[in-house]
Amino acid sequence: MSALPTAPGGITAAWLDSVLKEHDVAAVQLEQVIPGSTTKVFLRAELGDGSTLLLFAKGVFDEPRLPVRVLAARQEALFFRHLAPTLEVPLFHAWFADADDEQGIVVFDDLSEAGTTFTEVGAAWSYDLVAAALEVQAAWHAATWGFPTDRYAWLAAGNPVAAAAADVLFSQAHWSAHTSDPTTVEVPEALADRARMQAAMGKLFALQAASTHALSHGDAHIGNTYLDAAGRPGFYDWQTFCLAPPLDDASYFIAGALATEDRQQHEQDLLRHYLSALAAHGAPAPSWNDAWLTYRTYQIHGFFWAVLPTAWQPVECSVPMAERYIAAIVDHDSLKLLEQA
């Protein structure tokens, strides 16, 4: 049994007091519980000095406690416990982060009253905002370029959460049920072969595992971004962080953050901007030809959106994202590039 709370009721004043070393917690009130891949529990902590602290905790606080959910929660907790303090990039302030074999919990500030704006999944950003977000990515990629794969036993080379999700999403049972749903995205014939797409995902993971590694967000899509009170972008939901080629984050983000027409017009300029930011931070940025080939090949990552179950993302969010990624895959003939790699 986990030593960490596994239900919202386990987040008591006594537990919160034990983990918030800076404060004396007299009472705690659970304001809201929002289910998801991990659960968000919004808290109002009454402190001993009479003040109030608004917080939210992330973890697996509901059923089903699927292994992929626990893995995602543990990954985020380990990121904020061990790696976030070493990075000079915009990140949520974590009051507490810890994980065991059955749970991972991070306690953050509740940013709903701090002028923070969270981006809707399926929204489209401007060139300038995407460029600013790529600069943030370049900063954490450069700071962790060539990160030793043996520094932490739990830090994987490759994305274990994505691999676990792929086992579910590309199974025959899920594929058949999902593709027969008329509300989901229409997939072009060339991408409608389940076995071929499953093999492509496996090859993408293997290709990335053998590449140059840096810290990767692992799921750097626009729905995992926010703007602070000054309008500066940042990334959250570090549940799938891993060691992976830096261009996976950048490629995945560019194709999903822009409307298709804007992506077609600006993607090369944005990729050059990202490479310049890498170089400015002292990283050995790849050549343009290598980066452009990699960018085009890695678009396969975005095909996950075409098979996401509605329990993970509603169709009004997943369909626009899937359409953008499918368009990028078709534009760049990414499936063929990957199979020839």
Residue 198 half-sphere exposure toward CB, CA atoms < 13 A:
14
- Same structural domain for residues 271 and 207? yes
255 and 227 in a common domain = yes
- Which residue is it, tokens 């034990």? 18
162 and 237 in a single domain? The answer is yes
- Give the CA distances from residue 25 to residues 6, 17, 18, 82, 136, in Å, rounded to whole numbers and listed in that order: 20, 5, 9, 25, 35
Position of tokens 């995602």? Answer: 72
Same domain, yes or no, for 32 and 153? no
* Tokens found for residue 143: 């700071």
The verdict on 157 and 179 lying in the same domain is: yes
SS3 263: helix
Looking at the structure, tell me whether residues 228 and 291 fall in a common domain: yes
Q: Mean pLDDT in the chain?
A: 93
Residue ranges with strand state E in the chain: 25-34, 39-47, 52-59, 94-100, 103-109, 117-118, 214-216, 225-227, 233-235, 242-244
- Kindly state whether residue 192 falls inside one of the protein's structural domains: yes
Rounded CA-CA distance 212/158 in Å is: 11
User: What are the φ and ψ backbone dihedral angles of 96, each rounded to 5 degrees?
Assistant: -155, 140
Same domain, 275 and 299: yes
Domain-embedded: residue 2? no
Residues 47 and 80 in one domain: yes
Domain co-membership, 39 together with 130: no
- Report whether 75 contacts 56 (CB < 8 A): no
Residues of the chain with pLDDT below 70 are 1, 113
Q: For residue 3, tell me if it sits in a domain.
A: no
Residue 1: its pLDDT value, please?
60
The answer to whether the predicted template modeling score (pTM) of the entire model surpasses 0.85 is yes
273-321 pLDDT, tens per residue? Answer: 999 999 999 999 999 999 999 999 999 999 999 999 887 888 898 999 9
CATH number of the domain to which 171 belongs: 3.90.1200.10
Same-domain status, 109 and 124: no
Quick one: 263 and 247 in the same domain? yes
Predicted confidence at residue 211, as pLDDT, reads 86
For residue 89, being part of any structural domain is answered with yes
Q: Enter the tokens of residue 112.
A: 């709903």
Q: Domain range holding 91?
A: 8-113
